Amino acid sequence: MPLSASSMAAAVGAAARNVKFTSGAQNVPRKIVVIGTYDPAKTEVDPEVLALSGGPGWAGATYGFGFMLHRLISALDVGAQGIEIQVVPQEETGEATQAAGELEFVGSDVTAAGTLHLYVAGIYCPVSLVVGDDDTTIPTKVETAINAIADLPITAADSTTAVVTTAKSAGPWGNDISLTFNQGFQQALPAGVVCTVTAMTGGTGIPDVADALAVLGTGDDANEKQFTDGLCGYGYDTDTLDAISTWNGVGNDPIGLYLPTVARPIRFLVGDVCGAFEGDQGAAALEDLITIGDARASDRTNGLVAAPGSPNHPMEIAAIALGTMARLNDNRAAESYVGKVLPGVFPGALTDRWTSEYDNRDAAVKAGISPTVVEGGAVLLQNVLTFYHPESVTPDSNGYRSMRNISIVQNLLENIRANFRTEKWQGISIVADVAKVTNVIDRQKARDLDAVMDDLVALATAFESKAWIFSAAFTIGRLQAGGCLAVRSGGLGFDIILPVLLSGEGSIYNIEVQFDTNLSVIL
C-alpha cells in the first residue's frame, strides 16, 4: 500500500520501480548487414538466414575463402574495426556463370632473377622467377602462386604458355576482378618477361535480393534489428538497387523503412572503378556514371563511390568505405567523411582519374555520385552521397543527398521514439491542463500539450548538444509559434511536428588571399 499525500502515521517507505530516464540524446549503435553469395560446396550454410559475422577468418571458413561474402566481410572489417556485422547468405542462381581471364607469357625468357609482382583485385601475389624461366615454366609458377593464396577471388590453371584464371564466385562479381602488375613503388617486370592480360569477363547471374531483404522483415517489422548500413555484392545492377530502394522507401514520402510505425531507415553503398576510357581524364566514364545517377534521382537509399582506375574490386572499395562511415558515425553521428583514407585501396593511373579535375567531381556530386581524390598516394573519400536529387528539391534543401545526413536522421528518429516509449508516456491520461489534476497519483500520469512541448524542447536541446541540428532556438521558436502540436480527435494521443534544421556538413572553404606590395600602409 503506497504512502499517500494524506497519510499521517509515522513510517519509513522504500520502493523500487524500473524506469528509463532520458539523459540526453544517444547515438544509435551502428549495425551493418551484408548480402552476397557463397561457395556452393558449403552445403551446411543455411541460405537466407541471418548470421552474426565472426570476422574474416570465420567468413572464409563458413562461406568459402575468396568467395564473395568472404571478400566483402574482409573489406568491411578493414573500415568497420569492430562494428557489428550480420550476414544474409544467398545461393548462386542455377544459371550463373563464372568470369574467366588469362595471363599469356608467350615469348618470355627471364634474363635476370626477380619477382613477378602480380595483383589480383588489388591483392598482392608475388611470384619468384629465376634465370632461364620461360613461357612454359612461368605459367606453372604463376598457377602455383595463385592457388596457394586462399584469400584470392580466383583459381588458376596452367595452359602451356598461359594461365587461365576463373572467378570463384559466379556472376558479374567476377567481371570486376582485375589482373594487374607492379602496383607497388618501383616495381617492374623481371627482365625478359612479357605478359598479355585478358581481362576477366563472362560472369552472369544475380540472385533476387528481394528474398534477402524479406529476411530482414516486412511491414512494421521491416529492419526490426535496426541495421543502419547495408552492403550487397551485386554492384549497381538496376533490379537490385530498385529492390533495396523500394524496401527502404523511394522519394520523400513516409513509406518503407521511413514509415512512422517503422522509422528505421538504412543506407547502402556500391563501388565503381571505371576510368579506362578514351577522352580527357576519363570523361566517358564520368558521363556514364552521371547517366546512372540521374536515372536514380528519387533513390534516397543507395549511393555509389568512385575510385576510377583502381585495381581493387569496386564492391570491396564500397565495403571499406561503408565500414569506415559506420565506425565514424558510431562515435559521432554528425561526422563528415571528407578526407578520410580508404586503407588498402590503390589509386588508379593519372590517365584514368577523372576525379583529378574539380569540375568533374562537382558534376559527379550534382548527379549523386560520390567521388574520391588521391593525395600522397592514398585514396580519400570526399562527398559521400545517395543518388537522391529530384528536380523538385533544390540542392540547398536536399537532406537525403548526404549519407552523413542520413546518419543524423537515423539518430533523430530513434531518439524521438525512445523518448515517447519511456514509462513517462505509457498509460497516460490526456487533459487540457495538468495543473488542474489535483490528485497526486492521477497527476503522475496526466499529460497536456505543455508536457509534450517540454519534452520536444528538451529533445531539441539534446540534438543541438550533439551537433545534429543547426540551432535548437529555431526549433523552439517554431514550436512556440504554434501549429506544431495538437490533441488527436477523441483524445487518442498527440499529433506532433518537430521542425529541425540539420547541422551543416562543412566541406567548402572559399578563401581569397589579398596582398599588396605598398609598404606605405604600415609606415
DSSP annotation of 302 reads E
Tell me the three cell numbers of residue 465: 548538444
- Cα-flanking dihedrals φ and ψ of residue 519, to 5°? -70, -10
For 72-134, give the secondary structure using H, E and C.
HHHHHHHHHCCCEEEEEEECCCCCCECCEEEEECCCCECCCCEEEEEEECCEEEEEEECCCCE
* Structure-derived torsion over alpha carbons of residues 507, 509, 510, 514, reported in degrees to the nearest 10: -170
What pLDDT sits at residue 15?
62
Tally of CB atoms within 10 A around 239: 12
pTM, two decimal places: 0.93
Beta pairing partners, 153: none
Tell me the three cell numbers of residue 171: 556472376
Element containing residue 412 per DSSP (H, E): helix 403-420
- Could you tell me the CA-to-CA distances from 113 to 42, 108, 413 in Å, in that order? 41, 13, 62
* Structure-derived torsion over alpha carbons of residues 78, 319, 65, 61, reported in degrees to the nearest 10: 70
DSSP annotation of 184 reads S
Tell me the three cell numbers of residue 153: 577471388
Position 98, amino acid? Q
Residue 322 CA to residue 342 CA, distance in Å, equals 10
As a 3-state breakdown, the chain gives helix, strand, coil percent values, each rounded to 5, of 35, 20, 45
Averaged pLDDT in 10-residue chunks for the chain of 523 residues: 67 64 80 98 97 97 98 97 97 96 97 97 97 96 98 96 98 96 94 96 97 96 97 96 97 95 97 69 83 96 96 97 98 96 96 93 96 96 97 91 97 96 94 95 94 96 97 97 94 95 89 88 79
Tell me the three cell numbers of residue 425: 508516456
Position 43, amino acid? T
Residue 500 CA to residue 496 CA, distance in Å, equals 13
Return left, alpha or beta for 183; rule: phi > 0 is left, psi -120 to 50 is alpha, else beta. Answer: alpha
What pLDDT sits at residue 282?
64
What pLDDT sits at residue 278?
45
Place of cell 581524390: 373
DSSP annotation of 41 reads T
Helix orientation angle between 449-465 and 472-481, rounded to the nearest 10 degrees: 160
Q: 27-36: b or e for each residue (b if 16 or more CB lie within 10 Å)? A: bbebbbbbbb
Helices (H), 132-282: 137-148, 209-215, 238-248
Element containing residue 451 per DSSP (H, E): helix 449-465
**CATH top class, domain 100-201:** alpha beta
Position 234, amino acid? Y
* Structure-derived torsion over alpha carbons of residues 402, 408, 411, 417, reported in degrees to the nearest 10: -90
Element containing residue 405 per DSSP (H, E): helix 403-420
- Distant-in-sequence, close-in-space partners of 422: CB < 8 Å, separation ≥ 6: 19, 20, 21, 22
What are the sequence ranges of the domains in the chain? 31-92+206-338+358-374+397-406, 100-201, 423-523
CB 112 within 8 A of CB 181: no
Tell me the three cell numbers of residue 145: 602462386
DSSP annotation of 491 reads G
Residue 202 CA to residue 171 CA, distance in Å, equals 8
- Cα-flanking dihedrals φ and ψ of residue 512, to 5°? -120, 125
Residue 80 CA to residue 97 CA, distance in Å, equals 31
- Of 36, 50, 152, 180, nearest to 96 by C-alpha is 36
Tell me the three cell numbers of residue 271: 563501388
- Of 371, 210, 218, nearest to 290 by C-alpha is 371
Tally of CB atoms within 10 A around 396: 5
